[in-house]
Structure 1
Amino acid sequence: MTSSLTFTPPAIPSHDEPDWSQVTCIPVKGCDSPLVPTSLGPSCLKVYPAYARLGIPGAVNECLVRRAVYQRLLQAARALPEGLSLVVMDGWRPWRVQQYLFETLYQSLKTHDPSLCEAQLLARTREFVSLPSRDPDAPSPHLTGGAVDVTICDADGLLLEMGTLFDEATPESHADYFERHPPGVDTPQAAARDNRRLLYHVMTQAGFTNLPSEWWHFDFGDQLWAWYRGEPEALFGPAEMDSIESLWKRSLQ
Protein backbone atom coordinates (compact mmCIF):
# COMPACT_ATOMS: atom_id res chain seq x y z
CA MET A 1 0.00 0.00 0.00
CA THR A 2 1.36 3.46 -0.85
CA SER A 3 0.70 6.70 0.97
CA SER A 4 -1.08 9.76 -0.38
CA LEU A 5 1.75 12.19 0.42
CA THR A 6 1.72 15.40 -1.58
CA PHE A 7 5.32 16.23 -0.57
CA THR A 8 8.60 14.38 -0.27
CA PRO A 9 10.04 14.36 3.26
CA PRO A 10 13.78 15.03 3.66
CA ALA A 11 16.20 12.13 3.17
CA ILE A 12 17.03 9.87 6.10
CA PRO A 13 20.61 10.60 7.21
CA SER A 14 23.06 7.71 7.41
CA HIS A 15 24.29 6.72 10.86
CA ASP A 16 26.88 4.20 11.99
CA GLU A 17 25.75 1.00 13.64
CA PRO A 18 25.95 1.21 17.45
CA ASP A 19 29.16 0.24 19.18
CA TRP A 20 27.57 -1.97 21.83
CA SER A 21 30.75 -2.01 23.94
CA GLN A 22 30.27 1.75 24.35
CA VAL A 23 26.47 1.70 24.51
CA THR A 24 26.40 -0.67 27.47
CA CYS A 25 28.93 1.48 29.37
CA ILE A 26 26.57 4.47 29.51
CA PRO A 27 25.35 4.97 33.10
CA VAL A 28 21.68 4.22 33.73
CA LYS A 29 19.84 6.79 35.83
CA GLY A 30 16.98 4.42 36.51
CA CYS A 31 14.03 6.83 36.25
CA ASP A 32 11.00 5.38 38.04
CA SER A 33 8.52 5.85 35.19
CA PRO A 34 5.72 3.26 34.97
CA LEU A 35 4.89 1.09 31.99
CA VAL A 36 1.60 2.12 30.40
CA PRO A 37 -0.54 0.43 27.72
CA THR A 38 -0.66 2.00 24.27
CA SER A 39 -3.95 0.34 23.32
CA LEU A 40 -5.98 2.96 25.20
CA GLY A 41 -4.68 5.75 22.97
CA PRO A 42 -6.68 7.85 20.48
CA SER A 43 -7.44 6.73 16.93
CA CYS A 44 -4.22 8.24 15.54
CA LEU A 45 -2.33 5.51 17.45
CA LYS A 46 -3.03 1.89 16.49
CA VAL A 47 -1.69 -1.14 18.36
CA TYR A 48 -0.80 -4.49 16.85
CA PRO A 49 1.26 -6.64 19.28
CA ALA A 50 3.08 -8.55 16.56
CA TYR A 51 4.83 -11.17 18.69
CA ALA A 52 1.71 -12.15 20.60
CA ARG A 53 -0.15 -12.50 17.28
CA LEU A 54 2.66 -14.75 16.04
CA GLY A 55 2.32 -16.95 19.13
CA ILE A 56 5.87 -16.36 20.36
CA PRO A 57 6.29 -17.91 23.84
CA GLY A 58 6.04 -15.31 26.61
CA ALA A 59 4.79 -12.47 24.41
CA VAL A 60 2.09 -10.26 25.92
CA ASN A 61 -1.03 -9.17 24.05
CA GLU A 62 -0.35 -5.47 24.65
CA CYS A 63 2.33 -2.94 23.72
CA LEU A 64 3.61 -1.44 26.95
CA VAL A 65 6.00 1.53 27.07
CA ARG A 66 7.23 4.05 29.61
CA ARG A 67 4.87 6.99 30.14
CA ALA A 68 7.31 9.46 28.56
CA VAL A 69 7.63 7.19 25.52
CA TYR A 70 3.84 7.00 25.19
CA GLN A 71 3.56 10.80 25.23
CA ARG A 72 6.13 11.06 22.44
CA LEU A 73 4.36 8.37 20.42
CA LEU A 74 1.22 10.49 20.57
CA GLN A 75 3.22 13.52 19.44
CA ALA A 76 4.56 11.57 16.45
CA ALA A 77 1.14 10.14 15.58
CA ARG A 78 -0.48 13.59 15.64
CA ALA A 79 2.21 14.93 13.30
CA LEU A 80 1.23 12.48 10.54
CA PRO A 81 -0.81 13.73 7.56
CA GLU A 82 -4.58 13.39 7.89
CA GLY A 83 -5.81 9.85 7.30
CA LEU A 84 -2.63 8.15 8.51
CA SER A 85 -2.05 6.51 11.90
CA LEU A 86 1.02 5.34 13.76
CA VAL A 87 1.01 1.58 14.43
CA VAL A 88 2.85 0.24 17.48
CA MET A 89 3.97 -3.35 16.94
CA ASP A 90 6.17 -3.86 19.99
CA GLY A 91 7.32 -1.99 23.06
CA TRP A 92 8.43 -3.47 26.38
CA ARG A 93 9.55 -7.01 25.75
CA PRO A 94 9.87 -9.79 28.36
CA TRP A 95 13.35 -11.30 28.63
CA ARG A 96 11.98 -14.66 27.51
CA VAL A 97 10.83 -13.14 24.22
CA GLN A 98 14.16 -11.38 23.72
CA GLN A 99 15.98 -14.66 24.25
CA TYR A 100 13.68 -16.48 21.82
CA LEU A 101 14.17 -13.89 19.08
CA PHE A 102 17.95 -13.86 19.51
CA GLU A 103 18.28 -17.63 19.50
CA THR A 104 15.99 -18.21 16.52
CA LEU A 105 17.73 -15.58 14.36
CA TYR A 106 21.15 -16.90 15.42
CA GLN A 107 20.19 -20.45 14.43
CA SER A 108 18.60 -19.30 11.16
CA LEU A 109 21.78 -17.45 10.18
CA LYS A 110 23.93 -20.43 11.18
CA THR A 111 21.84 -22.79 9.05
CA HIS A 112 21.77 -20.41 6.11
CA ASP A 113 25.54 -19.85 6.09
CA PRO A 114 27.53 -22.56 7.96
CA SER A 115 30.79 -20.80 7.02
CA LEU A 116 30.14 -17.98 9.50
CA CYS A 117 32.36 -18.10 12.58
CA GLU A 118 31.02 -17.40 16.08
CA ALA A 119 32.02 -13.73 16.01
CA GLN A 120 30.37 -13.25 12.61
CA LEU A 121 27.20 -15.00 13.75
CA LEU A 122 26.96 -12.80 16.84
CA ALA A 123 27.56 -9.64 14.82
CA ARG A 124 24.95 -10.58 12.19
CA THR A 125 22.42 -11.52 14.89
CA ARG A 126 23.00 -8.30 16.85
CA GLU A 127 22.38 -6.31 13.69
CA PHE A 128 18.67 -7.04 14.20
CA VAL A 129 18.27 -8.46 17.74
CA SER A 130 20.21 -7.23 20.76
CA LEU A 131 21.67 -9.61 23.33
CA PRO A 132 19.12 -10.78 25.92
CA SER A 133 20.14 -9.00 29.12
CA ARG A 134 18.41 -8.12 32.38
CA ASP A 135 21.61 -6.56 33.74
CA PRO A 136 20.58 -3.26 35.42
CA ASP A 137 23.71 -1.66 33.95
CA ALA A 138 23.30 -3.05 30.42
CA PRO A 139 19.70 -4.10 29.68
CA SER A 140 18.40 -5.02 26.24
CA PRO A 141 16.68 -1.89 24.84
CA HIS A 142 13.22 -3.46 24.61
CA LEU A 143 13.45 -4.68 28.21
CA THR A 144 13.53 -1.05 29.38
CA GLY A 145 10.21 0.03 27.89
CA GLY A 146 12.10 2.74 26.01
CA ALA A 147 12.34 0.96 22.65
CA VAL A 148 9.42 0.74 20.24
CA ASP A 149 8.78 -0.87 16.86
CA VAL A 150 6.40 1.18 14.74
CA THR A 151 5.02 1.66 11.24
CA ILE A 152 2.21 3.61 9.56
CA CYS A 153 -1.21 2.60 8.24
CA ASP A 154 -3.81 4.41 6.13
CA ALA A 155 -7.42 5.23 7.00
CA ASP A 156 -8.49 1.70 6.03
CA GLY A 157 -5.96 0.10 8.37
CA LEU A 158 -3.66 -1.03 5.54
CA LEU A 159 0.05 -0.76 6.25
CA LEU A 160 2.02 1.60 4.05
CA GLU A 161 4.72 0.18 1.80
CA MET A 162 8.06 0.21 3.63
CA GLY A 163 10.15 -1.92 1.30
CA THR A 164 10.51 -4.86 3.69
CA LEU A 165 8.39 -6.57 6.28
CA PHE A 166 8.75 -5.83 9.98
CA ASP A 167 11.64 -7.88 11.40
CA GLU A 168 12.95 -8.84 7.95
CA ALA A 169 16.65 -9.47 8.61
CA THR A 170 18.05 -8.21 5.30
CA PRO A 171 20.16 -5.21 4.22
CA GLU A 172 17.02 -3.69 2.68
CA SER A 173 15.65 -3.20 6.21
CA HIS A 174 18.31 -0.59 7.00
CA ALA A 175 16.52 2.74 7.38
CA ASP A 176 18.65 4.52 4.77
CA TYR A 177 18.75 1.66 2.23
CA PHE A 178 16.70 3.52 -0.39
CA GLU A 179 18.77 6.65 0.16
CA ARG A 180 21.91 4.71 -0.72
CA HIS A 181 20.15 2.77 -3.51
CA PRO A 182 17.85 5.37 -5.14
CA PRO A 183 14.73 3.76 -6.62
CA GLY A 184 13.09 4.60 -9.91
CA VAL A 185 10.31 7.17 -10.13
CA ASP A 186 6.75 5.97 -9.38
CA THR A 187 7.89 2.55 -8.14
CA PRO A 188 6.93 0.69 -4.93
CA GLN A 189 10.50 1.29 -3.75
CA ALA A 190 10.09 5.04 -4.22
CA ALA A 191 6.91 4.92 -2.16
CA ALA A 192 8.75 2.90 0.50
CA ARG A 193 11.54 5.47 0.59
CA ASP A 194 9.08 8.33 1.11
CA ASN A 195 7.11 6.40 3.75
CA ARG A 196 10.29 5.56 5.65
CA ARG A 197 11.27 9.21 5.53
CA LEU A 198 7.90 10.24 6.93
CA LEU A 199 8.13 7.70 9.76
CA TYR A 200 11.72 8.64 10.55
CA HIS A 201 11.06 12.36 10.72
CA VAL A 202 7.86 12.31 12.81
CA MET A 203 9.57 9.98 15.28
CA THR A 204 12.87 11.84 15.55
CA GLN A 205 11.07 15.18 15.82
CA ALA A 206 9.23 13.69 18.80
CA GLY A 207 12.57 12.97 20.50
CA PHE A 208 13.27 9.38 19.41
CA THR A 209 16.44 8.02 17.84
CA ASN A 210 16.47 5.33 15.17
CA LEU A 211 18.43 2.08 15.06
CA PRO A 212 20.02 2.34 11.58
CA SER A 213 19.60 -1.36 10.71
CA GLU A 214 15.84 -1.31 11.33
CA TRP A 215 13.51 1.26 9.78
CA TRP A 216 10.87 0.34 12.39
CA HIS A 217 12.96 0.57 15.61
CA PHE A 218 13.09 3.78 17.65
CA ASP A 219 14.35 4.55 21.16
CA PHE A 220 13.75 7.09 23.88
CA GLY A 221 15.43 7.07 27.28
CA ASP A 222 17.41 3.82 26.97
CA GLN A 223 21.18 3.43 26.49
CA LEU A 224 20.84 3.26 22.70
CA TRP A 225 19.03 6.61 22.70
CA ALA A 226 21.68 8.10 24.99
CA TRP A 227 24.49 6.85 22.72
CA TYR A 228 23.04 8.34 19.54
CA ARG A 229 22.18 11.65 21.22
CA GLY A 230 25.42 11.93 23.13
CA GLU A 231 23.59 12.01 26.46
CA PRO A 232 25.68 11.40 29.62
CA GLU A 233 23.23 8.83 30.98
CA ALA A 234 20.21 6.75 30.08
CA LEU A 235 16.88 7.35 31.78
CA PHE A 236 15.53 3.80 31.87
CA GLY A 237 16.89 0.54 33.20
CA PRO A 238 15.09 -2.84 33.03
CA ALA A 239 11.36 -2.80 33.66
CA GLU A 240 8.90 -5.49 34.67
CA MET A 241 5.19 -5.73 34.00
CA ASP A 242 3.23 -5.30 37.22
CA SER A 243 1.61 -8.44 38.59
CA ILE A 244 -1.29 -8.88 40.95
CA GLU A 245 1.14 -10.38 43.48
CA SER A 246 3.41 -7.31 43.44
CA LEU A 247 0.35 -5.04 43.70
CA TRP A 248 -0.88 -6.89 46.79
CA LYS A 249 2.56 -6.80 48.37
CA ARG A 250 2.81 -3.02 47.92
CA SER A 251 -0.69 -2.44 49.28
CA LEU A 252 0.06 -4.51 52.40
CA GLN A 253 3.31 -2.76 53.29
Structure 2
Amino acid sequence: MNANTAIPHNPEPDWHAVAALPIVECNQPLQALGLNRALTVHPAYYKLGVPNAIAECYVRSEVFERLLQVTKWLPAGIRLVVLDAWRPFGVQQYLYDSLWDALRDYHPQADTAQLEHLTRQFVSPPSTSRTAPSPHLTGGAVDVSLCDEDGRWLDMGTGFDEASPLSASHYFEQIEQPDEQQIRIRDNRRILYNAMHAAGFSNLPSEWWHYDYGDQLWAWHKGLDAAIYGPSQVQSLDSLWRQQLEKQMQAGQVS
Protein backbone atom coordinates (compact mmCIF):
# COMPACT_ATOMS: atom_id res chain seq x y z
CA MET A 1 0.00 0.00 0.00
CA ASN A 2 1.29 3.45 -0.98
CA ALA A 3 -0.04 5.91 1.61
CA ASN A 4 0.60 8.89 -0.67
CA THR A 5 -1.30 7.72 -3.76
CA ALA A 6 -3.59 10.49 -5.02
CA ILE A 7 -7.29 10.17 -4.20
CA PRO A 8 -9.21 9.59 -7.46
CA HIS A 9 -12.18 11.71 -8.48
CA ASN A 10 -14.99 9.21 -7.94
CA PRO A 11 -18.55 9.81 -9.18
CA GLU A 12 -21.44 10.70 -6.93
CA PRO A 13 -23.49 7.55 -6.22
CA ASP A 14 -26.53 6.74 -8.33
CA TRP A 15 -28.81 6.44 -5.32
CA HIS A 16 -31.59 4.71 -7.20
CA ALA A 17 -29.14 2.06 -8.39
CA VAL A 18 -27.72 1.76 -4.87
CA ALA A 19 -31.17 1.15 -3.37
CA ALA A 20 -32.00 -1.38 -6.10
CA LEU A 21 -29.12 -3.69 -5.21
CA PRO A 22 -30.28 -6.84 -3.42
CA ILE A 23 -29.10 -7.62 0.10
CA VAL A 24 -28.00 -11.15 0.94
CA GLU A 25 -27.80 -10.79 4.71
CA CYS A 26 -24.86 -12.65 6.26
CA ASN A 27 -26.04 -12.13 9.86
CA GLN A 28 -22.72 -10.97 11.26
CA PRO A 29 -23.29 -9.50 14.74
CA LEU A 30 -22.58 -5.96 15.80
CA GLN A 31 -19.47 -5.55 17.92
CA ALA A 32 -18.54 -2.69 20.24
CA LEU A 33 -15.25 -0.93 19.46
CA GLY A 34 -14.64 0.84 22.76
CA LEU A 35 -12.50 -1.85 24.40
CA ASN A 36 -9.99 -2.06 21.56
CA ARG A 37 -6.67 -0.37 22.33
CA ALA A 38 -5.60 0.01 18.71
CA LEU A 39 -8.55 2.31 17.93
CA THR A 40 -9.47 5.69 19.34
CA VAL A 41 -13.24 5.70 19.74
CA HIS A 42 -14.82 9.15 19.99
CA PRO A 43 -18.64 8.89 19.55
CA ALA A 44 -19.11 12.38 18.17
CA TYR A 45 -22.89 12.62 18.23
CA TYR A 46 -23.13 11.44 21.82
CA LYS A 47 -20.54 14.01 22.87
CA LEU A 48 -22.43 16.71 20.95
CA GLY A 49 -25.64 15.84 22.77
CA VAL A 50 -27.55 14.67 19.69
CA PRO A 51 -30.88 13.12 20.82
CA ASN A 52 -30.85 9.30 20.99
CA ALA A 53 -27.09 9.12 20.31
CA ILE A 54 -25.22 6.37 22.17
CA ALA A 55 -21.88 6.39 23.99
CA GLU A 56 -20.38 3.50 21.99
CA CYS A 57 -19.55 2.75 18.36
CA TYR A 58 -20.79 -0.60 17.00
CA VAL A 59 -19.84 -2.22 13.68
CA ARG A 60 -20.31 -5.62 12.10
CA SER A 61 -17.64 -8.14 13.08
CA GLU A 62 -15.96 -8.11 9.66
CA VAL A 63 -15.82 -4.30 9.69
CA PHE A 64 -14.14 -4.52 13.10
CA GLU A 65 -11.43 -6.82 11.73
CA ARG A 66 -10.84 -4.58 8.73
CA LEU A 67 -10.52 -1.50 10.91
CA LEU A 68 -7.81 -3.34 12.83
CA GLN A 69 -6.00 -3.90 9.52
CA VAL A 70 -6.15 -0.17 8.88
CA THR A 71 -4.48 0.60 12.20
CA LYS A 72 -1.54 -1.60 11.22
CA TRP A 73 -1.05 0.19 7.89
CA LEU A 74 -1.08 3.74 9.21
CA PRO A 75 2.32 5.47 9.55
CA ALA A 76 3.98 5.38 12.96
CA GLY A 77 2.54 7.96 15.33
CA ILE A 78 -0.86 8.20 13.59
CA ARG A 79 -4.02 6.70 15.10
CA LEU A 80 -7.39 5.91 13.55
CA VAL A 81 -10.31 7.68 15.24
CA VAL A 82 -13.82 6.23 14.91
CA LEU A 83 -16.36 9.04 15.17
CA ASP A 84 -19.54 7.16 14.34
CA ALA A 85 -20.67 3.76 13.12
CA TRP A 86 -24.06 2.04 13.65
CA ARG A 87 -26.75 4.61 14.45
CA PRO A 88 -30.15 4.35 16.09
CA PHE A 89 -32.94 5.36 13.71
CA GLY A 90 -33.69 8.43 15.83
CA VAL A 91 -30.19 9.79 15.28
CA GLN A 92 -30.46 9.33 11.51
CA GLN A 93 -33.82 11.11 11.51
CA TYR A 94 -32.47 14.00 13.58
CA LEU A 95 -29.41 14.48 11.36
CA TYR A 96 -31.44 14.37 8.15
CA ASP A 97 -34.11 16.77 9.40
CA SER A 98 -31.56 19.19 10.86
CA LEU A 99 -29.53 19.42 7.67
CA TRP A 100 -32.69 19.65 5.52
CA ASP A 101 -33.94 22.58 7.61
CA ALA A 102 -30.57 24.35 7.43
CA LEU A 103 -30.33 23.90 3.66
CA ARG A 104 -33.93 25.09 3.18
CA ASP A 105 -33.07 28.31 5.02
CA TYR A 106 -29.89 28.76 2.99
CA HIS A 107 -31.53 27.86 -0.36
CA PRO A 108 -35.09 29.28 -0.07
CA GLN A 109 -35.72 28.82 -3.80
CA ALA A 110 -34.88 25.11 -3.83
CA ASP A 111 -37.72 22.66 -4.38
CA THR A 112 -38.16 19.33 -2.58
CA ALA A 113 -36.12 17.35 -5.11
CA GLN A 114 -33.23 19.82 -4.93
CA LEU A 115 -33.26 19.82 -1.14
CA GLU A 116 -33.24 16.03 -1.09
CA HIS A 117 -30.26 15.97 -3.46
CA LEU A 118 -28.33 18.50 -1.37
CA THR A 119 -29.16 16.79 1.92
CA ARG A 120 -28.25 13.25 0.92
CA GLN A 121 -24.78 14.36 -0.15
CA PHE A 122 -24.09 14.38 3.59
CA VAL A 123 -26.94 12.47 5.30
CA SER A 124 -28.91 9.55 3.86
CA PRO A 125 -32.70 9.55 4.27
CA PRO A 126 -33.59 7.61 7.43
CA SER A 127 -34.72 4.10 6.59
CA THR A 128 -34.86 0.72 8.30
CA SER A 129 -36.23 -0.93 5.16
CA ARG A 130 -34.95 -4.45 4.61
CA THR A 131 -34.41 -3.63 0.94
CA ALA A 132 -32.91 -0.11 1.22
CA PRO A 133 -31.68 0.79 4.72
CA SER A 134 -29.63 3.87 5.56
CA PRO A 135 -25.94 2.81 5.43
CA HIS A 136 -25.27 3.73 9.07
CA LEU A 137 -28.21 1.59 10.21
CA THR A 138 -26.53 -1.56 8.85
CA GLY A 139 -23.35 -1.52 10.93
CA GLY A 140 -21.29 -1.37 7.73
CA ALA A 141 -20.76 2.41 7.50
CA VAL A 142 -18.12 4.16 9.61
CA ASP A 143 -17.04 7.77 10.01
CA VAL A 144 -13.33 8.05 10.73
CA SER A 145 -10.52 10.55 11.08
CA LEU A 146 -6.89 10.64 12.22
CA CYS A 147 -5.01 11.93 15.26
CA ASP A 148 -1.42 11.76 16.45
CA GLU A 149 -0.28 9.50 19.28
CA ASP A 150 -0.97 12.25 21.83
CA GLY A 151 -4.54 12.75 20.65
CA ARG A 152 -4.06 15.88 18.53
CA TRP A 153 -6.39 15.92 15.52
CA LEU A 154 -4.67 15.87 12.14
CA ASP A 155 -5.76 18.67 9.82
CA MET A 156 -8.24 17.14 7.36
CA GLY A 157 -9.32 20.45 5.82
CA THR A 158 -12.82 20.58 7.35
CA GLY A 159 -14.48 19.46 10.50
CA PHE A 160 -16.36 16.17 10.70
CA ASP A 161 -19.82 16.46 9.12
CA GLU A 162 -19.09 19.87 7.59
CA ALA A 163 -21.60 20.33 4.76
CA SER A 164 -19.18 22.04 2.40
CA PRO A 165 -17.63 21.40 -1.03
CA LEU A 166 -14.27 21.28 0.81
CA SER A 167 -15.44 18.04 2.48
CA ALA A 168 -15.23 16.16 -0.82
CA SER A 169 -12.47 13.57 -0.48
CA HIS A 170 -10.85 14.66 -3.76
CA TYR A 171 -11.11 18.42 -3.17
CA PHE A 172 -7.47 19.17 -2.31
CA GLU A 173 -6.22 16.99 -5.16
CA GLN A 174 -7.64 19.58 -7.59
CA ILE A 175 -5.51 22.49 -6.39
CA GLU A 176 -2.77 23.04 -8.98
CA GLN A 177 -0.36 24.94 -6.76
CA PRO A 178 -1.23 24.01 -3.17
CA ASP A 179 0.39 25.85 -0.30
CA GLU A 180 2.04 24.10 2.63
CA GLN A 181 -1.16 23.71 4.64
CA GLN A 182 -3.11 22.44 1.64
CA ILE A 183 -0.40 19.87 0.94
CA ARG A 184 -0.58 18.71 4.56
CA ILE A 185 -4.37 18.35 4.35
CA ARG A 186 -4.14 16.53 1.02
CA ASP A 187 -1.56 14.10 2.38
CA ASN A 188 -3.55 13.43 5.56
CA ARG A 189 -6.59 12.57 3.47
CA ARG A 190 -4.45 10.33 1.27
CA ILE A 191 -3.17 8.44 4.31
CA LEU A 192 -6.72 7.78 5.51
CA TYR A 193 -8.13 6.99 2.08
CA ASN A 194 -5.40 4.59 1.01
CA ALA A 195 -5.39 2.65 4.28
CA MET A 196 -9.18 2.31 4.29
CA HIS A 197 -9.27 1.43 0.58
CA ALA A 198 -6.57 -1.22 1.05
CA ALA A 199 -8.69 -2.79 3.80
CA GLY A 200 -11.61 -3.16 1.39
CA PHE A 201 -13.70 -0.10 2.28
CA SER A 202 -15.31 2.25 -0.22
CA ASN A 203 -15.52 6.01 0.30
CA LEU A 204 -18.46 8.37 -0.16
CA PRO A 205 -16.91 10.99 -2.49
CA SER A 206 -18.66 13.96 -0.84
CA GLU A 207 -17.33 13.08 2.64
CA TRP A 208 -13.64 12.43 3.37
CA TRP A 209 -14.64 10.76 6.67
CA HIS A 210 -17.32 8.31 5.46
CA TYR A 211 -16.42 4.73 4.51
CA ASP A 212 -18.51 1.64 3.86
CA TYR A 213 -18.10 -2.11 3.89
CA GLY A 214 -20.81 -4.69 3.23
CA ASP A 215 -23.74 -2.31 2.69
CA GLN A 216 -25.44 -1.34 -0.58
CA LEU A 217 -23.29 1.76 -1.06
CA TRP A 218 -20.15 -0.39 -0.79
CA ALA A 219 -21.58 -2.94 -3.24
CA TRP A 220 -22.38 -0.18 -5.75
CA HIS A 221 -18.89 1.35 -5.53
CA LYS A 222 -17.27 -2.07 -5.85
CA GLY A 223 -19.45 -3.13 -8.79
CA LEU A 224 -20.85 -6.13 -6.91
CA ASP A 225 -24.18 -7.84 -7.49
CA ALA A 226 -25.38 -7.67 -3.89
CA ALA A 227 -24.72 -6.25 -0.46
CA ILE A 228 -24.22 -8.47 2.59
CA TYR A 229 -25.50 -6.14 5.33
CA GLY A 230 -29.11 -5.10 5.80
CA PRO A 231 -30.55 -3.15 8.73
CA SER A 232 -29.18 -4.21 12.10
CA GLN A 233 -29.91 -3.53 15.73
CA VAL A 234 -27.96 -3.49 18.97
CA GLN A 235 -29.45 -6.22 21.11
CA SER A 236 -31.40 -4.96 24.13
CA LEU A 237 -31.34 -6.68 27.51
CA ASP A 238 -35.02 -7.52 27.12
CA SER A 239 -34.48 -9.29 23.78
CA LEU A 240 -31.44 -11.12 25.19
CA TRP A 241 -33.46 -12.44 28.13
CA ARG A 242 -36.25 -13.54 25.82
CA GLN A 243 -33.82 -15.39 23.58
CA GLN A 244 -32.28 -17.13 26.58
CA LEU A 245 -35.69 -18.12 27.94
CA GLU A 246 -36.76 -19.39 24.52
CA LYS A 247 -33.66 -21.61 24.35
CA GLN A 248 -34.34 -22.91 27.85
CA MET A 249 -37.96 -23.66 26.92
CA GLN A 250 -36.86 -25.57 23.83
CA ALA A 251 -34.39 -27.53 25.94
CA GLY A 252 -37.09 -28.34 28.50
CA GLN A 253 -35.35 -26.39 31.27
CA VAL A 254 -38.29 -24.08 32.03
CA SER A 255 -41.74 -25.39 32.93
TM-score (norm 1): 0.95
Q: Hey, what's the Cα distance between the residues in 1 that align with 2:3 and 2:142?
A: 25
Which residue of 223, 231, 253 maps to 2:224?
Answer: 231
Relative distance call for 1:26 and 1:251 in structure 2 (3 A) is: same
Relative distance call for 1:220 and 1:8 in structure 2 (3 A) is: closer
Is 2:21 the partner of 1:26?
Answer: yes
Which residue of 51, 57, 60 maps to 1:57?
Answer: 51
Instruction: After the TM superposition, list the runs of 4 or more consecutive aligned residues in structure 1 that deviate by more than 3 angstroms.
Output: none
- Residue type at the aligned position of 1:101: L
Stretch moving more, 47-56 or 111-120: 111-120
TM-score (norm 2): 0.94
2:240 paired residue number: 247
Q: How does 1:40-119 map to 2 (within 5 A)?
A: 40-42=35-37, 44-119=38-113
SS at match of 1:41: coil
Is 2:195 the partner of 1:202?
Answer: yes
Q: Hey, what's the Cα distance between the residues in 1 that align with 2:221 and 2:21?
A: 11
Is 2:163 the partner of 1:169?
Answer: yes
Q: Hey, what's the Cα distance between the residues in 1 that align with 2:20 and 2:183?
A: 39
1:3 paired residue number: none
Q: CA deviation at 1:78?
A: 1.1
Is 2:177 the partner of 1:192?
Answer: no
Bigger radius of gyration: 2
In the alignment, structure 2 segments of 5+ residues that lack a partner are 247-255
Q: CA deviation at 1:182?
A: 3.7
Q: CA deviation at 1:173?
A: 0.1
Write the deviation string for residues 5-56 of structure 1: whole angstroms up to 9, x where unpaired.
xx970100111111110000100011111100111112x3100000000010
Q: CA deviation at 1:181?
A: 2.4
SS at match of 2:143: strand
Which residue of 206, 227, 234 maps to 1:213?
Answer: 206
Relative distance call for 1:241 and 1:97 in structure 2 (3 A) is: same
Query: Alignment identity in percent?
Result: 51
In the alignment, structure 1 segments of 5+ residues that lack a partner are 1-6
Q: Hey, what's the Cα distance between the residues in 2 that align with 1:55 and 1:150?
A: 19
Which residue of 32, 38, 54 maps to 2:33?
Answer: 38
Is 2:127 the partner of 1:122?
Answer: no
Q: Is contact 1:183-1:189 (8 Å) kept?
A: no
Q: CA deviation at 1:225?
A: 0.3
Q: Hey, what's the Cα distance between the residues in 2 that align with 1:182 and 1:195?
A: 17
State the superposition RMSD in angstroms.
1.1
How many matched pairs? 245
2:175 paired residue number: 181
Q: Hey, what's the Cα distance between the residues in 2 that align with 1:20 and 1:237?
A: 16
